[in-house]
Amino acid sequence: LITSATSPGLYVIHIAAEMAPVAKVGGLGDVISGLCKALQKKGHLVEIVLPKYDCIQYDRIRDFRALDAVIESYFDGQLFKNKIWVGTIEGLPVYFIEPHHPDKFFWRGNFYGEHDDFRRFSYFSRAALEFLLQAGKKPDIIHCHDWQTAFVAPLYWDIYAPKGLNSARICFTCHNFEYQGTAAASQLKSCGLDAHHLNRPDRMQDNSSHDRVNSVKGGVVFSNIVTTVSPTYAQEVRTAEGGQGLHSTLSTHSKKFIGILNGIDTDAWNPATDPFLEVQYNANDLQGKAQNKEALRRNLGLSSADVRRPLVGCITRLVPQKGVHLIRHAIYRTLELGGQFVLLGSSPVPHIQREFEGIANNFQNHDHARLILKYDESLSHVIYAASDMFIIPSIFEPCGLTQMISMRYGAIPIARKTGGLNDSVFDVDDDTIPSQFQNGFTFLSADEPGINSALERAFNLFKNNTESWQQLVRKDMNIDFSWDSSAAQYEELYSMSVARARATKRD
């Protein structure tokens, strides 16, 4: 097995279900690669453990190879073999676990949404820790993410620390409290956790169903550090309305719970070097941006007759959280206001996918609107570059990355004031906000008049004051959304937790 080099910084291992660009469903994938790169740049030794899905983009992994050793891990009362693979993704060392289990957990052509997700990811969490133990790794921090790997926290303290994998503090980040990973308490047994011991209100018992356990709750209760992805969302989830049933648990554990705004990977999202764009551009060359708008219109068959017609973009998972009814409304309102609309999105919810397919068909040959209902990384870059405005009318939004990416590409965000959007988009017409921070258009009420008001203000400025609009575009493109300051906050949390553990050991 690969042994870990010594490093003057901390040794941090992330265990996660996604990592951009090889295995990305949404923001979690971006966060894993962005945060890990930033931590590595600060001098820490960072490694990542992922499931070896069949649908990984293997061509983006360098030096990919299987290790000689096979790791046996426990599930359902038996030991199963796991092949371990290793490779480098954007300079980061990544281990992949390939279970040899008859259920073919990661051979489904899909990352999530399988009937046995609870089993798949509780298996993975245990196999990942087993690998760290058998590889003799001595991390300072094990950082797990979302319900899929929140099992790591109770598994670590109940099973792996007693076995000798005991150098680490556990950090758990919840990227979205809507997804909690609940199941009948008896299902915990499969990965070796003691259901009887853990199915208690102060441990893993689901707050609304006493015979169910909740993986995210386990992550919160059993981790040393608990974070979520923006300060506003951290406040919202401590309330009964926003906490998705976990507000009381989060309040009990509030001393170790904090919201840190995500950054974006400014190398991957850089209009000046972006290989997906027809023309690279920067804040001093908005002509380049205009050429990308022209190229997208041509490629999608939209009218190019009026250069000044504003293009509104939207790139999102089409789920209720994202305000799908407001997205639908914004398409029609944009056309009424004389704009063009491009949506790139796909939905795991069949009735929403069907509804948007219907709208997409209506606009199939339309001069000013196009809906592309799939996941398409390269097209997403082109849309960010081509858009003048970008809408994010989320009902709730833990952090949101698309507002930051759009600003970096000079597309002005029109966003609902919630969660991380409230921490990163500041209205140009709000006098209470110092002008240097004003960067977009916001609205509060999650209804049609709400989004109309922001959209109309944006159209007014775009049409009537080109000079101010371009100034705003240049200002947004120069905002620092890199991971530097957020990674520094994680670094500080890690260091404080490690120092506390060492002080306790000395006492």
Which positions lie near ligand ADP, rule CB under 6 A?
Answer: 26-27, 30, 315-317, 344-346, 375-377, 380, 399-402, 405
Min dist CB 244 to ligand ADP, Å, is 14
Both tokens of 198, joined, read 């853990």
The smaller minimum CB distance to ligand ADP, of residues 119 and 381, is found at 381
Residue placing its CB nearer to ligand ADP in the complex, 286 or 319: 319
Q: What is the length of the chain?
A: 507
Task: Tell me the closest approach of the beta carbon of residue 145 to ligand ADP, in angstroms.
Answer: 12
Q: Which two tokens stand for residue 414?
A: 């029109």
What's the rounded Cα separation, in Å, for the pair 283 and 489? 29
User: Residue 227 is inside which H or E element, if any?
Assistant: strand 225-228
What residue number has its CB nearest to ligand ADP? Answer: 27
Q: How many whole angstroms separate alpha carbon 489 and alpha carbon 143?
A: 14
d(CA 188, CA 220) in angstroms, rounded, equals: 17
Task: Report in angstroms how near the CB of residue 315 gets to ligand ADP at its nearest.
Answer: 5
Name which of 148, 212, 154 is nearest 185 in CA terms: 212
Closest CA to 427 of 458, 406, 448, 405: 458
Q: Which residue, 31 or 472, has its beta carbon nearer to ligand ADP?
A: 31
Residue matched to tokens 């260091």: 495
By beta-carbon proximity to ligand ADP, the closer residue of 30 and 274 is 30
When the beta carbons of 205 and 403 are compared against ligand ADP, the nearer one is 403
Closest approach of ligand ADP to the CB of residue 155, in Å? 25
Tell me which amino acid residue 199 is: N
- CB closer to ligand ADP out of 206 and 265: 265
Token readout for 411 is 């597309």
Question: How far is the C-alpha of 278 from the C-alpha of 289, rounded, in Å?
Answer: 10
Q: How far is the CB of 53 from ligand ADP (least distance, A)?
A: 17
Closest approach of ligand ADP to the CB of residue 42, in Å = 23
Q: Cβ(64)–Cβ(85) under 8 Å?
A: yes
- Only one residue has tokens 């000044």, namely 308
Q: Which is nearer to ligand ADP, 56 or 165 (CB)?
A: 56
At 412 the three-state DSSP class reads: strand
Minimum Å distance from CB 406 to ligand ADP?
9
Task: Give the pair of three-digit tokens for residue 66.
Answer: 């299987």
**Measured distance CA(34)–CA(39) in Å, rounded:** 9
Q: Which is nearer to ligand ADP, 72 or 357 (CB)?
A: 357
In the complex, least distance from residue 246 CB atom to ligand ADP, rounded to whole angstroms: 18
